[in-house]
Structure 1
Amino acid sequence: MSVFSPRSPADIAALVSGHPLAWVISSGPAFHATPLPLIAELDGEGTVVALIGHFALRNPQVEALRVDPGALILFQGGQGYISPELVTQEQWAPTWNYAVARFKADITFLPEENHDALDRLIEHMEGDRPDRWTAAAMGERYEPMLTRIIAFRATVRSCDATFKLGQDERPEAFAQILAGHPDGALVAAMREAAEV
């Protein structure tokens, strides 16, 4: 196991939850890649076992996935350049820190779940806002919109994740990066990766 491996399935689930926009890539008869927000389904141990989303029906990738349902789904979390100006260690070289998860999955289209897929996405994105938006606010526009999308479940076959967030740095260099890096989200991800 690499020093950059996630500590547990929960790290991967948190990356998907916190950064839900993924690239859904298929190769079928032609190469396709579509950015889509996805919601994770977890098993009892907190492992991502499926990803739920929806395509616009007019997207040519829908037909490609009907022919060949295999897909590569890529998530990217916090990331950024780490400049040597942050570190006093001599001959320290620049690097790039990042957290990514790569899922191989099989996609099944579920048009009967269009409503549920949208509700789950809206609920996740709206979170705990006091005046949470719901699909009901669309009124008569909602039902016709459902006919122009198609929900899907991407059943995960495998997952490979890399959390390269400074775990290999000397403690002094790591502390200097945390103290001086301007990207608060990346610094938070680095702090979390360092927690034991």
Structure 2
Amino acid sequence: MSIFEQFAPEDVRALIEAYPLAWVCGGGAADMEASLLPLVGVFGEDGTLVELIGHMGRANPLHAALAADPRATILFKGPDAYVSPEHAGLRNWGPTWNYAQLKIGAEITFDAGFTETSLQVLLDAVETGRAQPWNADELGARYEKMLAQIIGFRARVTGLSGRFKLGQDEAPETLQSILGSLPDAATAAWMRRFNPGRF
């Protein structure tokens, strides 16, 4: 296994929580449908991802595709940045791109009775900690009309792979140079996460 494919459940959780907007793909290769949807992870006692909660428009072609065949591929992309030889401090060093990604196989279950819960789960994830957290009651009479146009779902995880290419193969002095000069703070933070004690 590549060093870039070695990660822990807490890395999966951190990436999903920091970058919740994912591509949800379904319908097979020939007639694939795909949509960007915000998703919230559900984790087991051991910290592993067991399912994702989300919602989508009933009119979204992906809804029909996944209703016909519930198998989905879900793609999360974390931080990414171009890394130049200038950042490495070496002219004989090849430029590269650092990034973090997850590919999740899932089985989707739609449930109209779960729609309000799925919305609340998302609101809790994105509004908690704000000075004045928003809630759906503020929509008034519009809420019920909007609710009728969407449907909640659970995505049970059937497979998970990832690639966290974050400088693990760099010499310590090169890694230190990159971290000291890379302008993308988010990517640099994830590089530090995956290189403890090496800079």
**How would you bin the TM-score normalised by the shorter chain?**
over 0.9
Counterpart of 1:188? 189
Runs of 5+ unmatched residues, structure 1: none
Of 90-99 and 67-76, the range deviating more from structure 2:
90-99
How far did 1:6 drift? 4.1
**Contact 1:6–1:12 (8 Å) recurs in 2:** no
**Contact 2:85–2:91 (8 Å) recurs in 1:** no
Counterpart of 2:10? 10
Give the Cα separation in 2 of the matches to 1:192 and 1:34: 30
SS at match of 1:154: strand
Deviations 1:113-149 (A, max 9, x none): 1111001101101121121111111111111111000
Give the Cα separation in 1 of the matches to 2:187 and 2:54: 26
Calculate the TM-score normalised by the size of structure 1: 0.96
How far did 1:111 drift? 0.9
How far did 1:156 drift? 0.5
How far did 1:90 drift? 4.6
What is the one-letter code of the residue matched to 2:33?
H
The within-5 A match list for 1:1-196 is 1-28=1-28, 30-195=31-196
Give the Cα separation in 1 of the matches to 2:56 and 2:27: 16
Provide the aligned C-alpha RMSD in A.
Answer: 1.3
How far did 1:61 drift? 1.2
Give the Cα separation in 2 of the matches to 1:88 and 1:10: 32
SS at match of 2:117: helix
Give the Cα separation in 1 of the matches to 2:64 and 2:41: 23
Give the Cα separation in 2 of the matches to 1:191 and 1:99: 13
Aligned length: 196
Identity of aligned residues (%): 43
1:6–1:12 distance in 2 versus 1, CA, 3 Å:
farther
Give the Cα separation in 2 of the matches to 1:80 and 1:125: 25
SS at match of 1:4: helix
How far did 1:184 drift? 0.8
Deviations 1:131-180 (A, max 9, x none): 11111111111111110001011100000011110011000110111110
What is the one-letter code of the residue matched to 1:94?
P
Deviations 1:87-116 (A, max 9, x none): 223511001100000000110001101111
